[in-house]
Chains A and B, each alone.
Chain A
Amino acid sequence: MNEELQDKAALYALGALEPIEASAFEEQMFGDPELSALVGDLCETTAAMASTVSRVEPSSEIRARIMASIQPSQTQKPLQSTPATQSTGWRGMVGWGIAAGLSACCVFLWNERSQLEMQVSVLSGNEADAMQLAEDRRLDSQRIGKELAQVRGVLQGVQADLSSANAEVAQWREKDAMAQMRIATLQSTVDEYQQGVAVVVWDSEKHEGMLKLERMPAIDPGKDYQLWVVDPKNPKPVNAGVVRVDEEGFANIQFKPVDAVSDAAKFALSVEREGGVPENEGPIVLIGP
């Protein structure tokens, strides 16, 4: 038997339970012989405590009052029956009639009282059940609240982890984007152009790039620099657009070849007719590695 039941049994024996608790416990005890036996023992112990108190004899008047007030209850069968007497006529009949009426009233009142006691008992039981149910619901609500708080905590943790993971993914994407970039420096074998600086940044993912030119020689009238992508898979250089430099030989343009090119492509700058040509005609003055 668990300690909670033993607690209740001890409190019940001492009369220290709340009335509702006591009613509920009595119902529980009714179906549990072991518990019932324990309660019997503890009640006997409590009664023995009463034995240790000095006995005090109550006055005889109280005894007389008690004896006068007791009535046979409905469940008791009187041991002494009233001796039968013969009717002595009309007055006797009236007396018996009154007595019978009173007896009937008594029986009726006892019945009523018994029924009321039963109803009170049932209502007490129902109240105890309702209290227990309410208590169970309250405990359930507390438990669910705790679980909900735990779930919320876990969810917050997951959200934090997700944010962290997203940030990490963004970093990796940035790194990946950088990895997709290729930087090529174009060089020249022609003395005139060796002082020029030409750098291409090529994004192989987007197939577009940026060209930066510095200190390029001024170009003859009627001519333009033109950028080409030399792809080994393509028999002819792919046009990437005309490049115009300023007076200081500076240019910074974004370009996109007119055809798809492979990752192994090189970049070249040529001098073409003004406005550019669809296919390379003029000399290549700069070329990438």
Chain B
Amino acid sequence: MSSRSESQPIESDEALLLRVGRGDETAFGALYDRFSGRVYGMIRQMLRDEKEAEDVLQDGFVSVWEKAAAFDPDRGKAFPWVVMHLRHKAIDRLRARGRRAQTLENARVEWQTTAGEAVASTDEQVECNDRARRLTKAVNELPEAQRELIEMAFLSGLTHHDISVQTGIPLGTVKTNIRRGLLKLRDGLKGGRA
């Protein structure tokens, strides 16, 4: 994933994050500008609370700044690395409060209805658009049982044990459906890339 500016050559996300790891505040600002919109959208949808989402965004990006030196481009890309940091912060927040059940259904509905919009409204990052489109298609092609569990895990911050308890689905079935579904999404993402 890359960003394009009018006056500077494109710098990859990974190069930017490596500079952040070396303490480059300018690079950090650029990284924030590049990722914050998508990440904030995700966090808001998970938390369903603007104030909490802002707090998590701040904590998460400060954590990215502090941990960036540990980023290894050989082990993964920058955007997933940042997303994972922010998701962990959001999940911690969700687990700390007891309103997961109330927020989940609203979040799922909104994710399902806005997933298509994201494809149409994302900016000039063509590759990102393309990946989002492929993933949306792959999500829609998932069997319902797999899709619902993945949505639940993605948005709710629930552990697999909690999901099993809340849905009444046996733990083994929860694990199997999430694994199969996520592997299909991965394959859909990779297949579309080829």
A residues neighboring B (CB under 8 Å): 3, 6-7, 9-11, 13-18, 36, 40-59, 62-63, 65-67, 69-70, 72-73, 75-79
Contact = CB atoms under 8 A, between A and B. Distances in A.
B154 A49 contact: yes
Interface in B154-172: 154, 157-161, 163
Given A11-B153, A15-B91, A58-B36, A79 B23 contact: yes
A78 B114 CA distance: 41
B38 A6 contact: no
Interface stretch (B4-12, B81-89, B97-105): B81-89
B25 A53 contact: no
Contacts of A63: 29, 32-33, 36
B135 A52 contact: yes
A53 B80 contact: no
Given A40-B76, A70-B28, A76-B23, A57 B179 contact: no
Interface string B140-183: 00000000001001100111110100000000000110110011
A50 B175 contact: no
Contacts of B28: 67, 70
B84 A47 contact: yes
Contact of A46 (B40, B87, B163): B87
Shortest beta-carbon contacts, A-B, top 6: A76-B23, A47-B80, A55-B37, A75-B69, A47-B83, A50-B42
A58 B44 CA distance: 10
A43 B88 CA distance: 12
Interface residues of B, number: 73
B181 to A, nearest CB: 8
A51 B76 contact: no
Interface string B18-39: 0001111100110011001111
A275 to B, nearest CB: 97
Nearest to A61: B54
B50 to A, nearest CB: 9
Nearest to A16: B153
B118 interface: yes
Contacts of B61: 66
Q: What does DSSP make chain A's interface, helix, strand, loop or mixed?
A: helix
Contacts of B139: 49, 52
B126 interface: no
B38 A53 contact: yes
Contacts of A58: 36-37, 40, 54, 57
A14 B118 contact: no
A52 B28 CA distance: 24
Name which of A17, A41, A45, A57 has the most chain B CB atoms within 10 A of its CB. Answer: A45
Contact of B189 (A45, A53, A55, A75): A45
Nearest to A15: B91
Contacts of A56: 37, 40-41, 44
A73 B23 CA distance: 8
Given A45-B185, A73-B66, A51 B131 contact: yes
A36 B80 contact: no
Given A11-B160, A14-B153, 11 more contacts: A13-B182, A16-B153, A16-B159, A44-B80, A48-B132, A50-B83, A52-B139, A55-B40, A63-B36, A73-B65, A75-B21
14 contacts: A7-B175, A7-B178, A15-B87, A16-B159, A16-B163, A40-B80, A45-B182, A48-B185, A51-B122, A53-B114, A55-B40, A55-B41, A57-B36, A70-B65
Contact of A54 (B77, B121, B136, B182): B121
Nearest to A56: B41
A18 B114 CA distance: 29
Contacts of A17: 159-160
B117 interface: yes
Contacts of B29: 63, 67
B76 A44 contact: yes
Nearest to A48: B135
A77 B179 contact: no
B121 A55 contact: yes
B65 A45 contact: no
Nearest to A67: B29
Contacts of A49: 135, 139, 154, 185
Contacts of B25: 67, 70
